[in-house]
Chains A and B, each alone.
Chain A
Amino acid sequence: MAMLKRLYFPVLLVLVVLISYSVTVRSSGVPSNSYLQIEVAPRSASIELDGRGIAAGKVAVPAANHTVTVSKKGFATKSQTVSAKSGQTVYVGIGLESNSSSTRNWYTEHPDDQHLAEGLGSHEADYLNQLANQNNSFLRQLPTIYGDGNGGIVTVAQGVPLSSGGLPGIYVTAATPALRQGVLTYMSSRGYNPATMDIFFYGQNNPLDPTVE
């Protein structure tokens, strides 16, 4: 009996250690190694991340798609779904717009919220800018323009995105199929893969695509 008593504590200790070790080993939590940087205007708007209420600021999330929804009475609710990659911080800036006469002049009447809303625009712009430059160094070459050898010119310029995700589209002005093809050669001979970009060609005649101008 006495021996058992003396063993009691060490055994308990070992047990606790072993259980906690196994529990740790066995729980396979998904690591949260992405971040969302969330800013909203008006400041008093409610924020939901994947359906759960949160406050504005930097929040750790698993690398996955996430939906941020911002709402406030008198304003149209806005949602944004982003894809967070491992190690990445995604900026989410959402400013609400009035959809009721009672809040029509909200921002002029609330300079602090106006100030906040001003910031959203430039922060989002900075984020998209950084993303674009990380993704596509060809953008630094643009806009570019050169003669086509026959009195015309070819221009290659960046512009509004052609798909969601915020990366700039590439807009090409070249008068003939050969010149348009030449632009793809121009890019690849300088080490840029056209397939990695969304490219819009002005002036092409594509009878199979009624939407092409």
Chain B
Amino acid sequence: MIGVTFGLIVNYRGSFKQVSVKLGANLRLSIYKDLGGDAPYNYNTHGSPLFDLSTNGTVKLKKGVYDFVVNDPSHQYENPITKVVVSDSTSSVTISPFFTDQKLRDLLGSERSTIQQTMLSQYPSLNSFYTIGTDQLYEYGNWYGAVLNPLDAQYDKLHIIMERQGGSWKVEAPPQISIGIPSNPFVPSDVVDSVDQL
């Protein structure tokens, strides 16, 4: 009897997973039990979440399906809700939805001059040879890509990628005709792909 109880307790404890949750910067996350069905998510919006997180943390979750909901009152995130299946092999979950295209455009409007000033301080002669053309922010506005259009026909159309690290912007992929993913392993490949086609 003791043994059986002990075994049952042990078994019960074994059905929970310690899940380490990595949270993108400035995000607040609530974890709800998913109520089933094959919609992208299905949780009781009036109920209480099982967990609230505002930084990285570890939560104990029973195996099953959950909705990880990023707090997004102003609708600035693309895909703020993620359906997560916790199984035997689950040990960590990363939640960092990107901004919507609109949010990124708005951000760019206010950030552009800072970014381009940084670019010019790195390439002081840039304005003699190029104008900065089509540009775009990516992810949560921490990646920037732009086209440099030549002022003279002997120069090529170039592409450049910058990243905001800490509080300041840095050139990650210097101006070149076609930026390659293999030689830029720290730049998200979707960003390289998109910048090359700007």
So, do A and B actually touch in the complex, CB under 8 Å?
yes
B 1-36 to A, binary, CB cutoff 8 A, 1 in contact else 0: 101101110110111010000000000000000000
Look across to chain B and name the residue whose beta carbon is closest to the beta carbon of A135: B182
Q: Is the CB of B8 within 8 A of A18?
A: yes
A201 touches B177 (CB 8 A): yes
Interface status of B181 (Cβ within 8 A of chain A): yes
**Could you say which residues of chain B place their CB within 8 Å of the CB of A162?**
180, 182-183
* Known contacts A195-B192, A201-B177, A208-B123; A165 and B182 CB within 8 A of each other: yes
Q: Does A195 contact B180, Cβ atoms closer than 8 Å?
A: yes
> Which of B44-52, B105-113, B148-156 sits within the interface?
B148-156
Report how far A145 CA is from B7 CA in the complex, Å. 73
Q: Please count the residue pairs between chain A and chain B whose beta carbons lie under 8 angstroms apart in the complex.
A: 117
| Given A162-B183, A177-B153, A14 and B3 contact (CB-CB distance below 8 Å) | yes
Is the C-beta of A60 less than 8 angstroms from some C-beta in chain B? Answer: no
Q: At the interface, yes or no: A137 with Cβ under 8 Å from chain B?
A: no
Chain B interface residue number, banded: 35 or more
- Across the interface, do A177 and B10 meet the contact criterion of CB distance under 8 Å? no
Residue of A11, A165, A193 near B193 (CB, 8 A) is A193
Q: Which residues of B contact A2 (CB under 8 A)?
A: none
With A14-B7, A15-B4, A21-B11 given, is the CB distance from A180 to B177 under 8 Å? Answer: yes
* Interface set, chain B 146-198, CB cutoff 8 A to A: 148, 150, 153-158, 174-183, 185, 189, 192-193, 196-197
Residues of chain B touching chain A, judged by Cβ–Cβ distance below 8 Å, are 1, 3-4, 6-8, 10-11, 13-15, 17, 88-89, 91, 123, 125-126, 128-130, 148, 150, 153-158, 174-183, 185, 189, 192-193, 196-197
